[in-house]
Structure 1
């Protein structure tokens, strides 16, 4: 790889690591200890989770409205810095509840901006033949960020919760410095005026099929991303060691997600790989209901962790390959749809819990919704035309 491509890969990796891995999943990883240390109720902890999802939705909508010009670099820097401060402000107890709600919304907004704007910068600055490898390395940052958020779990009985949040804040500060340095080298390659061609793209059923499948995955992964630890603790009665072990497996799976999608796409093409990934995703969620053997729980943790970033990466890259310069607009639509369904799903599953719907029933519902999304994707990509559009790189 050339020096420019290495820098683009590092830039995207850092953005995904901060925007999704740390700003989104650090809360889930640290939630049990934070609840205990700060005296939060289960209801308030759920509200904070929804606040982050709301912020992600706002960030995705905001990013969609921004022109695809040099202004994106300014917003990326602002998003990274405010995201770092959101971690800092969640490290201290005894503030009013609205304080934590505000900063979890800010964290979500930052994540939404980074998720859309950073890949858009890369799409402008890299050559066509280098896109796949750069995006694969870059989207691996999601898994790396999740893995960083899980590294504290075995040591939370030795360090304070506040210290864990501050360490994450330090990671975010280092990433902010790296992003600012790298962005200065890409500015001259970005558009100085908005490119109008992105508004002229003709969408077809293929894009909407990708969108539906992607949105269904947003709904399906809610139980694991919000309630998995609570399920392991209260439903299965696992000890802290085994809860931490399951979450570390989730982080390890996340770190391998983009690589798995990359390897499959090289061998089978984008659409076939997406159908394979979604099928595995359905099984990974479903086996969470089979708690007879701990190995099934381990497998569910690992594969749900792996398949979420795998699907995100390959969906993003497929849209980039199919629609080129319209990527930012269409990836914004996809992310906005993902965020909307994610928020609705979070509220829906919280409501189901209120009405005493069991975790097993929630996992079944999640896997069923993803099954519907996968079936319609398989239907719309069965034609010879779709097979010709697949990219086997």
Structure 2
């Protein structure tokens, strides 16, 4: 999770302004690269969904880890063909999509049911840790070259990939011994589709902060380098706290109540970005959008696992695929809005509105289900 989402995805967002300047990219090409990464994520999610749930999964995790690491190295060199950067951004996205589905699927298959909440929390906390790592050296970008920043990330990602390779040996025998009973998806009820809708809405609404936040702070609000760095560090710090926040709330209030709380706050966290009268608003938006994304990803994943058990890989793949498709649509949509001169303020309003609609339908469906307990479909 740390490598696939935290570093492979967010390093580009963090380094976009300095890379654009150093490599003389215009905004249109930067948007194309962002969309290429989202397309790769979609391909990776679809590929992972089609892979068998057996002992071959670790091979694909290693392939994704090292390919993603090389994609970071590819961005360390300027003056190359545009196709070069587009290709490696697609590879980075594919790697992220594979890791996002295969890593939790392996752990879910091999751990005891009573340990799933804790182990999922530990795993998905890697997203926030990776985002935090990608932000740590931002205050020093005026002292090091853009190439050095990319090389640092490549070195870190390579070390993580080697550690993953060592740790994966733990699962080889377990994956053979604990083969899933069936790949069939059975007894999907309306709750899954309600979760799917609000999760997809969060993917669309997440795009402005995940791809264009630094550009907004620098070129629209014209904040100082200190304020921009502080915003991004707050984003990374919030991301690091996302999974633990969702974990503690879920232990206290339960999965569904916690998801309602998180999505409601997510709407506000995105909308508050439009208030530019004082930097405090961007600080709040940075911290809480950073916190809430890994929080809802973790808790949505765990909720699907707790409800549907053996079908988790297929259903989580479908959820990640819907997230990737909606995110790609969002990336193209927001890039088009920028091309036509629509302000960032209007883009944040659109993002919060879409998430608000998704959250409302989730509230309504959950309320309608209160009189009828949700059946669990997992094997103990």
**Is the structural similarity TM-score above 0.5?**
yes
- The 5 Å alignment of 1:331-342 reads 331-342=316-327
* Match status 1:246 vs 2:231: yes
Aligned position for 1:260: 245
One of 89, 114, 124 as aligned partner of 1:139: 124
One of 165, 174, 179 as aligned partner of 2:164: 179
The 1:366/1:373 distance shift into structure 2, 3 A limit, reads: same
CA distance in 1, matches of 2:374, 2:307: 12
Aligned position for 1:159: 144
One of 21, 34, 42 as aligned partner of 2:27: 42
Aligned position for 1:106: 91
SS in 1 for 2:77: coil
Aligned position for 1:128: 113
Given the two structures, how large is their TM-score scaled by the length of structure 2? 0.96
CA distance in 2, matches of 1:385, 1:69: 39
- The 5 Å alignment of 1:233-382 reads 233-382=218-367
CA distance in 1, matches of 2:186, 2:304: 12
Aligned position for 1:27: 12
Aligned position for 2:196: 211
Contact 1:140 1:309 (8 Å CA) reproduced: yes
The 1:124/1:318 distance shift into structure 2, 3 A limit, reads: same
For each residue in 1:131-188, what CA deviation from the matched residue of structure 2 results, as whole angstroms up to 9, or x when unmatched?
Answer: 1111101100000000010011100111111111111111111111111111111110
CA distance in 1, matches of 2:297, 2:87: 27
Contact 1:147 1:251 (8 Å CA) reproduced: yes
CA distance in 2, matches of 1:389, 1:253: 34
* Match status 1:384 vs 2:340: no
Aligned position for 2:45: 60
CA distance in 1, matches of 2:178, 2:145: 49
Shift, 1:196, TM fit: 5.7
CA distance in 1, matches of 2:251, 2:185: 30
Shift, 1:191, TM fit: 3.9
Shift, 1:364, TM fit: 0.8
Shift, 1:249, TM fit: 0.7
SS in 2 for 1:197: coil
Given the two structures, how large is their TM-score scaled by the length of structure 1? 0.93
CA distance in 2, matches of 1:31, 1:300: 20
CA distance in 1, matches of 2:291, 2:61: 26
One of 212, 218, 230 as aligned partner of 1:227: 212
SS in 2 for 1:190: helix
The 1:385/1:187 distance shift into structure 2, 3 A limit, reads: farther
Contact 1:68 1:191 (8 Å CA) reproduced: no
* Match status 1:150 vs 2:135: yes
CA distance in 2, matches of 1:378, 1:166: 45
One of 150, 164, 175 as aligned partner of 1:190: 175
Which ranges in structure 2 are unaligned for 5 or more consecutive residues? none
- Matched length: 375
Contact 1:23 1:111 (8 Å CA) reproduced: yes
CA distance in 1, matches of 2:23, 2:373: 54
For each residue in 1:274-307, what CA deviation from the matched residue of structure 2 results, as whole angstroms up to 9, or x when unmatched?
Answer: 0000000000011111112221110001000000
CA distance in 1, matches of 2:209, 2:72: 22
* Match status 1:168 vs 2:191: no
The 1:294/1:202 distance shift into structure 2, 3 A limit, reads: same
For each residue in 1:217-271, what CA deviation from the matched residue of structure 2 results, as whole angstroms up to 9, or x when unmatched?
Answer: 0001111111111111122111112111111110000000001100110111001
The 1:106/1:191 distance shift into structure 2, 3 A limit, reads: same
Which ranges in structure 1 are unaligned for 5 or more consecutive residues? 1-15
Aligned position for 1:97: 82
